């Protein structure tokens, strides 16, 4: 079943995973408001990207009924000028965060506060780019604490955690090395990463949850109710 799992993070937030096994045509067939989404589909998306894009929206619609105030079927996932998703037709306090990688899509919907989710296929890219997104102390700790055999997974986790925090912050222009700061933690199959977000001269503390939803993948997410 493509809807792989559903996890209630709080009374107002739900996290879902979609295992992508369908073709774009099969995904279109089960997508509400297909005519509207036809106009929103990125024109440059190849079949693989189309399938990932569609799976994210199928997943979001599957979660609409799990919120405290269920969303109407006519609600549409749109993207603002910066590419961030939002829900047209939903109450103003409803937020959505989407991510896809390989054959998995993730969605986090909440009707209170802020949310960010990211899923990544584990590969060596994050380690190769570590100097661009990790602060010096983060990079030093990663080098000292990570066995060579686990490096790809660990650096992918660090990148994903910063992506989830970036989405929660909902601001463009953030410098990952300076404003999204991860603190030391003991890596495991699942757990939490303490983090600091630096915005407008202020620092706020956050906790990013992580897990391995399938072999070769890492999932990170954060939901913080308002107040």
DSSP letter for each residue of 79-118: E-TTS-EEEETS-TT-EEEEEEETTEEEEEEESSSEEEEE
Model confidence pLDDT, tens digit, residues 7-66: 999 999 999 999 999 999 999 999 999 999 999 999 888 999 999 999 999 999 999 999
Please give the CATH number for the structural domain made up of 119-224.
3.90.470
Question: H helices within 30-76, ranges in order?
Answer: 34-40, 47-63
Say if 3-112 and 119-224 have the same CATH topology. yes
Please give the CATH number for the structural domain made up of 3-112.
3.90.470.20
Separation of alpha carbons 177 and 106, rounded Å: 25
Separation of alpha carbons 47 and 187, rounded Å: 35
Separation of alpha carbons 3 and 219, rounded Å: 16
- How much is the pLDDT for 226? 83
What mean pLDDT do residues 145-165 have?
95
Model confidence pLDDT, tens digit, residues 124-137: 999 999 999 999 99
- How much is the pLDDT for 145? 87
Model confidence pLDDT, tens digit, residues 93-112: 999 999 999 999 999 999 99
- CA-closest candidate to residue 4, choices 15, 19, 14, 22: 19
Model confidence pLDDT, tens digit, residues 72-100: 999 999 999 888 999 999 999 999 999 99
Model confidence pLDDT, tens digit, residues 185-204: 998 999 999 999 999 999 99
Model confidence pLDDT, tens digit, residues 166-177: 999 999 999 999
Model confidence at 5: pLDDT above 90: yes
- How much is the pLDDT for 20? 97
Q: What are phi and psi of 189, to 5 degrees?
A: -65, -30
- How much is the pLDDT for 210? 98
- How much is the pLDDT for 83? 87
Model confidence at 1: pLDDT above 70: no
Q: What's the pTM? A: 0.96
Query: By the 8 A CB rule, do 220 and 115 touch?
Result: no
Kindly list the domain boundaries of the chain, sorted by start residue: 3-112, 119-224
């Amino acid at each position: 079943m493509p809807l792989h799992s559903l996890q209630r993070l709080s009374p107002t937030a739900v996290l879902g995973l979609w295992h992508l096994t369908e073709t774009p045509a099969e995904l279109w067939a089960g997508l509400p408001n297909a005519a509207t989404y036809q106009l929103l589909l990125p024109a440059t998306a190849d079949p693989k990207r189309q399938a990932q894009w569609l799976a994210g929206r199928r997943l979001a619609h599957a979660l609409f009924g799990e919120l405290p105030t269920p969303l109407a079927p006519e609600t549409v996932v749109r993207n603002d000028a910066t590419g961030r998703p939002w829900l047209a037709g939903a109450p103003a306090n409803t937020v959505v965060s989407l991510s896809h990688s390989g054959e998995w899509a993730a969605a986090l919907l909440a009707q209170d506060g802020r949310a960010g989710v990211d899923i990544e296929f584990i590969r060596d890219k994050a380690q190769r780019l570590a100097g661009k997104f990790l602060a010096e102390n983060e990079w030093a700790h990663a080098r000292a604490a990570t066995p060579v055999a686990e490096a790809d997974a660990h650096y992918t986790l660090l990148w994903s955690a910063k992506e989830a925090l970036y989405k929660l912050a909902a601001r463009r222009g953030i410098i990952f090395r300076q404003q999204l700061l991860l603190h030391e933690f003991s890596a495991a199959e699942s757990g939490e990463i303490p983090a600091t977000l630096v915005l407008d001269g202020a620092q706020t503390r956050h906790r990013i949850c992580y897990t391995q939803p399938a072999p070769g993948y890492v999932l990170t997410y954060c939901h913080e109710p308002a107040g």
